[in-house]
Amino acid sequence: MKLAFDAPLEAMSAEERRLLLERRPPVAEGVREAVAAILADVRARGDDALRELARRHDGVELDELEIPRARWREAARRLPADVTGALERAATNIAAFHRAQLPADWEMETEPGVVVGRRRVPLASAGVYAPGGLAAYPSSVLMGVIPAREAGVGEVVVCSPPGPDGDPPEAVMAACVLAGATRLFAVGGAGAVAAMAYGTDSVPAGDAVVGPGNRWVTEAKRQVAGDVVIDAPAGPSEIAVVADDTAPARLVALEMVAQAEHDPDASAVLITPSARLAAEARRELGVIVAGAERRRVASEALAARGAIVLTRSLDEATGFARAYAPEHLALYVADPDAAMEQVPTAGTVFLGPASSVAFGDYMTGANHVLPTAGLSRSYSGLSADHFVRSFTWQRILPEAAASLARPVARLARLEGLPGHAETALARITP
């Protein structure tokens, strides 16, 4: 089993370190310009531009972009009972987790007679992108729509690419019913991001655009980020497993392959102070990949960005994981809670070998839309917070106003703003 790096950490060259730590894929030549052109075209021509994109990229002729709610319900009725049950269980957990995140309003008195506070209000509308094409991702619909609904967003629009019949995948349509989406459109790619950000005759403009997608969708979200809220400019999936002698080697290897099967650009890294575990995990990787259904994809990913990093201590392992800043961090060590304190730079953390990333991807309730490529140093995973905004309020009683007036006037004049000084001084009671 070929890996990009498989050696002690101290043997890592500067180039190997760069390869593992600097994972943000460069924007392919021409993609930035092409996405900018799509955004401009959708803003200028609206639905006509979206229909043309569907003809060109999806091979379908769309009379109407919106999918009637009756077709969602039909799709939901056709789902196998066990799939419906699994989606309903996931939806219940996602709703409970994101409902608990909602912050309370608060106020405080900074000095006598000066009361300031903060209020949170939901965004009016939001757009959720659900990837389509060759695969269906109903879980991404749940992860995007439910937090918005729990935050109190009134209109939650879903866009997903049309299939050969002009509709998004049936599982995506069914998930829209379960999640509580308000409208669904058969629109994909950068055009969908443009439509949800700026609006067309059919697609309403939103205050936020969230959800995973390919490089075109990611680049489009980067370009609209100055106009609407986005979750994060996420890239290919990734995992770092920090493990010690207590970790089962097969479970470590299974987690690495599970992320590697996503995409040839995915990353999977084991960081361990145990030479025995490193050797056993290496053998297990070879066996699992050889029998994997997505063997080619997993092999390519591991050869490009897979690694077994042998460290001199667990502290050194958590230090490298902190620098790696992964989307998914699995802590298969004797004391995972203590190790988590050492690695605050992860999108989500799985504590102990029973905690598979797959459970978080689908069922635990935590969100699977997460920052990648080291962006967890700056970004958080998608949450209810993405769908609310805050404003502050201030109440100043007359006695406090008189006390504030002169020092405020002094600072205002220092900054060359005499009007500010006069309005402050006018609050002094004669």
Mean pLDDT across 113-121: 97
Q: Does the annotation mark 415 as catalytic?
A: no
Each residue of 321-378: pLDDT tens digit?
Answer: 999 999 999 999 999 999 999 999 999 999 999 999 999 999 999 999 999 999 999 9
Which pairs with CB-CB distance under 8 Å and at least 24 residues apart come from 335-343? 339/242, 339/314, 342/315, 342/318, 343/242, 343/318
pLDDT at 136: 82
Residue 286 has pLDDT above 70, yes or no: yes
- Region 226-252: what's the mean pLDDT? 94
Q: What's the confidence (pLDDT) of residue 133?
A: 64
pLDDT at 413: 97
pLDDT the model gives residue 28? 67
> What is the identity of the amino acid at 240?
A
Mean residue pLDDT of the chain comes to 95
Lowest mean pLDDT among 163-167, 318-322, 394-398: 163-167
pLDDT tens, position by position, 6-18: 999 999 999 999 9
**pLDDT digits over 123-175, tens only?**
999 999 999 866 789 999 999 999 999 999 999 999 999 999 999 999 999 99
Structure tokens at 144: 């995007």
Measured CA to CA in angstroms, residue 67 lies from 49, 72, 181 at distances of 18, 8, 12
Whether the per-residue pLDDT at 176 is higher than 80: the answer is yes
pLDDT-derived band at 215, boundaries 50, 70, 90: confident
Q: Which CATH superfamily includes the segment(s) 5-23+235-365?
A: Nitrogenase molybdenum iron protein domain (3.40.50.1980)
41-59, pLDDT tens digit by residue?
A: 999 999 999 999 999 998 9
Provide the residue ranges of all domains of the chain, joining segments of one domain with +.
5-23+235-365, 31-74+121-230, 397-425
pLDDT of residue 70: 96
Rounded to an integer, what distance in angstroms lies between the CA atom of residue 230 and that of residue 387? 10
Catalytic residue among 98, 328, 368, 386: 328
Write out pLDDT tens, residues 70-80: 999 999 999 99
pLDDT reported for residue 404: 97
Catalytic residue among 300, 327, 368, 386: 327
Model pLDDT, residue 1 = 78
268 has which bridge partners?
A: 239, 306
Residue 233 pLDDT > 90: no
Average pLDDT estimate for 381-392? 95
- Looking at the domain that runs over 31-74+121-230, which CATH code has it been given? 3.40.50.1980
C-alpha–C-alpha distance, residues 375 and 46, integer Å: 33
The yes-or-no answer on residue 327 being catalytic is yes
Residue partners of 344: CB distance under 8 A and separation at least 6: 322
Q: Which of 28-32, 242-246, 361-365 is predicted least confidently?
A: 28-32
Whether 430 has a pLDDT exceeding 70, the answer reads: no
